[in-house]
Every structure is written in structure tokens, then in C-alpha cells.
């Protein structure tokens, strides 16, 4: 008999603010927060839509009304949207190559 073991190890590697200062052009936390804020609205709308769909499906299956989906769908969607916007902007800031320097004037 063979014995299989699956082991998942989650390691969170902290990013120190001093490390972010080495990003070309600097890391702009305010820009990442604004990207999160921008994505929160569409996330809320998607969450409300999915929550209403959950409530409708619950009524079809059980015959009883539910407001669970419509109550929690919006806030959860907004949180997921904000997190996604923040993360995408942060990734973009950390992985976008620096612009090429301007060429020097020609010698005379």
C-alpha cells in the first residue's frame, strides 16, 4: 500500500518599504490605492448581480425568499474589486521597464 501525503506550505514574503524605494521612478502607493478605489465600483456592481442571482436560484430550489446574496454580494464584490485593482496597479508599477533615457545632444 502506498501512502500519499500532500503538504501545502504558504509563505508570505514581506516587501519592505525600503525595497519599494528602489523601483525605478519610485513606488506610488497613492496611485495603487486610487486604482483600487476605481475598481471597487464595478466590483460592487458585479457582486450585487451575482448576489441577486444567488437569491433567485435559492428561491427556485427551496421555494423560500432570500436576501443573503443581495445583502453581502455588493460589499464582497467591492472588496474583491478593490483588491484586484490595487494588486494589478502594484504589479504594473513593479514590472514596467523604466523609460529609455533621453539622448544626449550631439557634440559640436
The 10s digit of each residue's pLDDT in 71-99 is 999 999 999 999 999 999 988 888 776 66
Its domain, for residue 48, covers 27-95
pTM over 0.75: no
The answer to whether residue 31 sits within a structural domain is: yes
- Look-up of cell digits 519599494: 20
Total domains in the fold of the chain: 1
The confidence score (pLDDT) of residue 95 equals 78
Packing angle of the helix pair 29-62, 68-95 (nearest 10 deg): 150
The answer to whether residue 21 sits within a structural domain is: no
The answer to whether residue 101 sits within a structural domain is: no
The confidence score (pLDDT) of residue 91 equals 86
Residues 37-52 have pLDDT tens digits of 999 999 999 999 999 9
The answer to whether residue 36 sits within a structural domain is: yes
CA distances from 77 to 33, 48, 98 (A): 17, 7, 33
The answer to whether residue 73 sits within a structural domain is: yes
pLDDT at 1 over 60: no
The chain-wide mean pLDDT, for the chain, equals 84
- With beta carbons less than 8 A apart as the criterion, state whether 83 and 77 touch: no
Amino acid at each position: 500500500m502506498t501512502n500519499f501525503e500532500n503538504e501545502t506550505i504558504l509563505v508570505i514574503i514581506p516587501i519592505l518599504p525600503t525595497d519599494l524605494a528602489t523601483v525605478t521612478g519610485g513606488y506610488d502607493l497613492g496611485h495603487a490605492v486610487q486604482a483600487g478605489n476605481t475598481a471597487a465600483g464595478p466590483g460592487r456592481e458585479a457582486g450585487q448581480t451575482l448576489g441577486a442571482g444567488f437569491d433567485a436560484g435559492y428561491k427556485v430550489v427551496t421555494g423560500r425568499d432570500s436576501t443573503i446574496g443581495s445583502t453581502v454580494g455588493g460589499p464582497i464584490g467591492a472588496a474583491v474589486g478593490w483588491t484586484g485593482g490595487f494588486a494589478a496597479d502594484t504589479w504594473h508599477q513593479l514590472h514596467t521597464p523604466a523609460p529609455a533615457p533621453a539622448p544626449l545632444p550631439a557634440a559640436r
